[in-house]
Structure 1
Amino acid sequence: MPRTLIITNDFPPRAGGIESFVHELALRRPEGSVVVYCSSPSPSDAAADPHFDLRLPFPVVRDRARVLLPVPRVVARARAIARLEGCDSVLYGAAAPLGLAAAELRGSVRRQVALTHGHEAGWALLPGSREALRRIGETTDTVTYLGEYTRRRLARALTPAAAARMRRLAPGVDTERFRPGSGGEEVRARLGLGGRPVVVCVSRLVARKGQDTLIRAWPRVLADVPDAALLIVGDGPDARRLRSAAAGTRSVLLTGPVAPRELPAYYDAGDVFAMPCRTRRGGLDVEGLGIVYLEASATGLPVVAGDSGGAPDAVLDGETGHVVDGTRPGPTARALIGLLKDPDRAARMGARGRAWVSGEWSWDRTSERLGALLTAS
């Protein structure tokens, strides 16, 4: 059976959209066809789930480094793993920077595919990193893209031949796992939310995601919906700043880190999902897609998304939710008030979102596309 070596810095137990994407792709490959070579988790991530690797149906080789880079030592180890495990293809969990190893691995494997997410769109803006993307495009067989936004941005950095070989590969959503009735009542009871209207945001706490915009918008929301609660789920480098911003506001709850297996219940605890992401650093820090919007839609929630990068690709604006300017609190507040004060319209949007995700964002379709890319002649 053909086997694939997945080389990545983005893999659980660390939480994140890219990590989930790579993990789900690996799980859906045929049994016995995957080996993962990845960096070591942080002590906190490792402590949160110390037996994660042992539960997986494929081998995981952890490097001693916290971050894998395409240096000779890493390339040599990847080549050795590919040879020992009989791998004939390589999947780079993120094209940049590990895709720069493709030239050195070319003689060891038959096919090489590089996944792109959001950060490569930022790489395409700067001369040095743009040249690196160009090299990755020339030395891999396929560079993937999430949606039209990332395709356009990346294609400008690639040669015409490499751009022509690009293929769409976006995350899927497990609609059996993310569904209405997946445990939200228990979460509400545990957090003391009862039957209050709840806006939920599930994401890493980083500045691009816009949790601070939600907190700034919240007094305006409370003026119209006084019993509403804002539930911010996740952890990250922005946690301390956000807790400080929310201090003294009893209707804003920050949960801290939540295990991935528990996330569906936290989505289900909400009435509306909101993550007003925004583009930062002159376009270098941009949202590639936003799988959380699709997971929320699968759970039957209307969504409020920021207009950063490819985030609008995950929303049917006006049908499954609203796309707003995430740099200012006003548009977010107005969208949230409208949905919270009209629960019938919110429910219709949520139902439309679940139907759309079920039909257009299935993991089966994504897995089939990846299989075709890895086995193409």
Structure 2
Amino acid sequence: MGKRTLIVTNDFPPRPGGIQAFVHGLASRRPPGSVVVYAPRWRGCEEFDARQPYEVVRHPSSLMLPTRSVARTAAGLVEDGATVVFGAAAPLGLLAPALRRAGAARVVMLTHGHEASWARLPGSRRLLRRIGEGADVVTYLGEYTRRRLAPVVPARKLVRLAPGVDTATFRPGAGGERVRASLGLGDRPVAVCVSRLVPRKGQDVLIRAWPLVLRRVPDAVLLLVGGGPSRRALERAAARYGVARSVVFTGSVPWAALPAHYDAGDVFAMPCRSRLAGIDVEGLGIVYLEASATGLPVVAGSSGGAPDAVRPGETGLVVDGASRDDVAAALAGLLADPARARAMGERGRAWIEEEWRWDLVSARFAGLLSSPARGTGPAAERR
């Protein structure tokens, strides 16, 4: 076996989240034993790590910063001449020079929505430029994030690498009937949102829009899957708008149960919106791709790179996530027209199978671990 690739990341299961699933997906599709992961501790990590076909080294706390102690531990895991991958370029990418001194021959940095936000502000932009200087490859999710990164990262280093979707796991018939039965939903029309309950994701707008949806589809249900700090405020909002009896909160669910919860819906909706003058922004939205793989039409907000995960009018609709009326019109239109919704879901499933399968993504990632980066632009984005 060759040298092991070291993956240094704050974002790794069993902590839930899209970046965590992305990084884990990349690691788990490398040959067994060919990677070592350095990540923070999280509840349940011992059991999770024991199931992985590679070594996972856990930092003592739940957050890693580019400190001397983190640098020392990471440097001790670098094999001379090996590749180092940062699961998120900011801020741990600042460790790249130290890891090169420890023997790293190649450095690959993944970027997500927060790096695109860093590129907007002078202070963090300077740090992001420093981070980019330490990399051989800096990946981006889609055209939105590429445009944000282009002023601070040389084009020759930028390469597209977006998450993949496990089409055998996220599929029509993944267990939605069981979820519907357990929640007492029966055969009512269901709009499902799978996401952390935070303002950017738009669950508050879904609840504000729900009275308008019910005027057209009186028996519809809004299924909110996930936990987060906004839950109590959202429950109060559902009561205030008089829709509490048609809004179901599941709380956090295990990753293995997510496909069934997608499959319980007829339409997927996450009307994300940019906040804090564009600093809090959606990088892509893997949930839209997972929903499409499950055969659902999606209603996406227009924040950041979210539209890159939708073919508007074909696999779903892109709306102003801050507009209650726009969100309501999109949801009611799809819930009231099951044939149109099914057709969009079928096209979405076909698109995922064609362009977003994990085998395609893992092959691209394998190339980045050893091949020189290619400069990219709009033409390369279409490859």
Distance, in Å, in 1 between the alignment partners of 2:266 and 2:353 is: 20
Q: 1:154 aligns with which of 135, 149, 155?
A: 149
Opposite residue 354 of structure 1, the aligned amino acid is R
Opposite residue 51 of structure 2, the aligned amino acid is R
Aligned equivalent of 2:75: 79
Distance, in Å, in 2 between the alignment partners of 1:324 and 1:315 is: 11
Q: 1:106 aligns with which of 100, 103, 109?
A: 100
Q: 2:284 aligns with which of 278, 281, 289?
A: 289
Aligned equivalent of 1:66: 62
| C-alpha deviation, 1:50, in angstroms | 5.3
Q: 1:53 aligns with which of 49, 53, 58?
A: 49
Aligned equivalent of 1:93: 87
Aligned equivalent of 1:12: 13
Aligned equivalent of 2:167: 175
Percent identity at matched positions?
64
Alignment of 1:25-64 (within 5 A): 25-41=26-42, 46-47=43-44, 51-64=47-60
TM-score (norm 2): 0.94
Opposite residue 9 of structure 1, the aligned amino acid is N
Aligned equivalent of 1:184: 176
TM-score (norm 1): 0.95
Indicate conservation of the 8 Å contact 1:82/1:88, yes or no.
yes
SS at match of 1:232: strand
| C-alpha deviation, 1:124, in angstroms | 0.3
Residue 210 in structure 1 maps to residue 197 in structure 2: no
Distance, in Å, in 1 between the alignment partners of 2:278 and 2:81 is: 37
Indicate conservation of the 8 Å contact 2:145/2:305, yes or no.
yes
Q: 1:276 aligns with which of 262, 271, 276?
A: 271
Opposite residue 267 of structure 1, the aligned amino acid is Y
Residue 251 in structure 1 maps to residue 243 in structure 2: no
Instruction: Give the aligned CA root-mean-square deviation in angstroms.
Output: 1.2
Distance, in Å, in 2 between the alignment partners of 1:3 and 1:59 is: 10
Indicate conservation of the 8 Å contact 1:275/1:305, yes or no.
yes
* Count of residues in correspondence between the two structures: 367
Indicate conservation of the 8 Å contact 2:78/2:99, yes or no.
no
Distance, in Å, in 2 between the alignment partners of 1:330 and 1:157 is: 38
Distance, in Å, in 1 between the alignment partners of 2:197 and 2:114 is: 17
Alignment of 1:338-349 (within 5 A): 338-349=333-344
SS at match of 2:89: coil
For structure 1, which segment, 58-67 or 216-225, has the greater mean C-alpha deviation from structure 2 after superposition? 58-67
| C-alpha deviation, 1:185, in angstroms | 0.2
SS at match of 2:47: coil
Q: 1:325 aligns with which of 315, 320, 330?
A: 320
Distance, in Å, in 2 between the alignment partners of 1:168 and 1:258 is: 31
Residue 24 in structure 1 maps to residue 18 in structure 2: no
SS at match of 1:283: coil
Distance, in Å, in 1 between the alignment partners of 2:307 and 2:106 is: 32
| C-alpha deviation, 1:154, in angstroms | 0.8
Opposite residue 304 of structure 2, the aligned amino acid is G
Distance, in Å, in 1 between the alignment partners of 2:10 and 2:196 is: 17
Residue 239 in structure 1 maps to residue 231 in structure 2: yes
Moved beyond 3 Å, runs of 4+:
none
Alignment of 1:357-368 (within 5 A): 357-368=352-363
Distance, in Å, in 2 between the alignment partners of 1:59 and 1:165 is: 29
Residue 117 in structure 1 maps to residue 112 in structure 2: yes
SS at match of 1:134: helix
Distance, in Å, in 1 between the alignment partners of 2:359 and 2:70 is: 32
| C-alpha deviation, 1:365, in angstroms | 1.2
Indicate conservation of the 8 Å contact 2:33/2:55, yes or no.
no
Indicate conservation of the 8 Å contact 2:172/2:295, yes or no.
yes
Aligned equivalent of 2:296: 301
Distance, in Å, in 2 between the alignment partners of 1:189 and 1:163 is: 51
Distance, in Å, in 2 between the alignment partners of 1:250 and 1:14 is: 31
Opposite residue 100 of structure 2, the aligned amino acid is R
| C-alpha deviation, 1:65, in angstroms | 2.4
Distance, in Å, in 2 between the alignment partners of 1:163 and 1:36 is: 28
For structure 1, which segment, 346-355 or 231-240, has the greater mean C-alpha deviation from structure 2 after superposition? 231-240
Indicate conservation of the 8 Å contact 1:178/1:295, yes or no.
yes
Opposite residue 245 of structure 1, the aligned amino acid is A
Aligned equivalent of 2:375: none
Opposite residue 19 of structure 1, the aligned amino acid is Q
Cα-to-partner distance string for 1:12-33 (whole Å, 9 max, x where unaligned): 1111000000011100011111
| C-alpha deviation, 1:375, in angstroms | 1.2
Q: Which runs of 5+ in 1 are unaligned?
A: none
